[in-house]
Amino acid sequence: MLRRLLPLTALAALAGCTAADPGGLSRDEARSMAGSAADSGRDLCEEYGWYGDGEYCDEFCPRTDPDCTAACAVDADCP
């Protein structure tokens, strides 16, 4: 009985560990909400720490994302 209980306990503990915030938004969800009534005037980029995070140019942010400037410095396609 104990042999079965230990692995099940370990699995239950690991199942609760996730890297994503279950109540959070993905960038794609935030992009689709940006500028609409759905975002309630919130700065989702500020709220989720996406400004200057070094990951993506979040062009949908209300303020200029520093990552967009850095990306354009090395991209000949930027205006």
Contacts of 46 (CB under 8 A, 6+ apart): 63
Closest CA to 64 of 78, 26, 21, 29: 78
Which tokens belong to 14? 């690991």
CB neighbour burial string for 48-66, b if at least 16 within 10 angstroms, e if fewer: bebeeeeeebbebbeeebe
Radius of gyration of the chain, Cα coordinates, nearest whole angstrom: 20
Q: Do you know the residue count of the chain?
A: 79
Predicted structure pTM score: 0.58
12-51 confidence digits (pLDDT tens)? 454 444 444 556 889 999 999 887 867 778 899 999 999 9
The residue-averaged pLDDT of 66-70 equals 87
pLDDT at 17: 44
